Every structure is written in structure tokens, then in C-alpha cells.
Structure 1
């Protein structure tokens, strides 16, 4: 059964946000919303870097900081963006400029000269 508090959090899919994405996205939240996330975090995963980040942001808001728009380009795993895989493929990889000393099936190894 799903945790009902999870569905009402101010950030969708909060549990799956990387800390780097979380840091830029909590800037848009009010003090009450940050308190809600902090309480949820402490009662569930209680990850020290996350509680420190949320506590620090809550302190900033209480000292007069205003919520901002946050970073719209932050990682958003809940939308499925950024999971396209690696852009590297055999077609985009460079060709080796010399074979290894033992050779390959296409290129024979080269002797290192006279060894006596």
C-alpha cells in the first residue's frame, strides 16, 4: 500500500530525486513546504545530506530569503528525461591508431626487433 503522505508532497516523485536536482528545486518552495519535506525525510529515509540541505534551506527562508524559481533545467526523473542511454556507439567511437603488441585478428602483431 502506498504511503498517503508521499502523494501530497510539494515535489512530485520526491523519493527518486537525486540530491543535485533536489537542491535546485527546493529553492521554489515556501518554508511550510520545506518543513513538510524535512518531516517526511526524517520519518522515512533520513538521509543526512538531504536533511542538512533541507534544514539549511529552511533556515535561509526563516532569515528572510524568498522562494525563487529554482533551476528549470534540474534533473527531473519523474518525467523520464535523461534516461536515453549513452550516446557512444561503435559508429561514433574512434578507430585505434595502432594494434596492441600481440595483434588482432585483422592486424598481426609486430615483432619488437632482434632480441638476443
Structure 2
């Protein structure tokens, strides 16, 4: 069941934002929106680093800072396009290595007890 308070928050997917994404996206919010997020955070997860970021931004806004232009609905950093798949390619893969010293199916290794 979805939390109705969660869907009404000023930042979509607020609960899933990494702290770095939260720091940049909270700059586009007004003081009442930051207060709303802070109240939500304190009644739910109450994560100290998050409350510190929100409190600091609220203090900046109360001291006269203006919300910067930004899109609170922008993609989260981990959802950015172009970051799919493995970064390994044939040109960046490691070099093949020698077979293990105990032998291969074509060349059987000798037991240690056979010294003849």
C-alpha cells in the first residue's frame, strides 16, 4: 500500500534519492517545501545526514537565499541515460592467462608421489 504523504512530497521518489542527489535537488525548493520534507523525514526515517542537509538549506532560505533554477523532477544520478551495461569491452578486458599448473584435460598432471 502506497503512503499518501509520500506521493504529495515536493521531490518525486524522495525516499530513494542518494544524499548527493538530495543536496542538489533541494536547492530548487522554497522554504515551505523544504519544511515539508524536513517534517516528513523526522516522522519517518529521521536520517541524521538528511535532516542536516534540509536544516542547512532551510537556514539558507530564511537568511535570504533564493531557490535556484532546477528541475525537482529531473532524473536521479543513477538513472542517467548512457550508463547501462558493463564498461568492459574487448579492448579493456584483461589478457588471457596460462592454464593452471596442475594440468589440463589434454595434458594430465603427475601426482606428487610419482618421482620415477
Task: Give the alignment's TM-score, normalised by structure 1.
Answer: 0.72
The root-mean-square deviation of aligned C-alpha atoms, in Å, is 3.1
Match of 2:80 in 1: 81
Tell me: CA distance 1:84–1:66, structure 2 relative to 1, closer, same or farther (3 Å).
same
Deviation digits for residues 62-112 of structure 1 (CA, Å, limit 9, x no counterpart): 00000002489x8616x943662431245522437xx6xxxx2199xxxxx
Match of 2:30 in 1: 30
Q: Structure 1 stretches of 5 or more lacking a match?
A: 108-116
2-side partners of 1:54 and 1:15: how far apart? 14
1:105 to 84, 88, 99: 99
**Alignment partner of 1:21 is 2:15:** no
The number of residue pairs the alignment matches comes to: 100
Shift of the alpha carbon at 1:10? 0.5
Whether the 8 Å contact between 1:26 and 1:70 is mirrored in structure 2 is no
**Greater Rg, structure 1 or structure 2?**
2
Task: Give the alignment's TM-score, normalised by structure 2.
Answer: 0.72
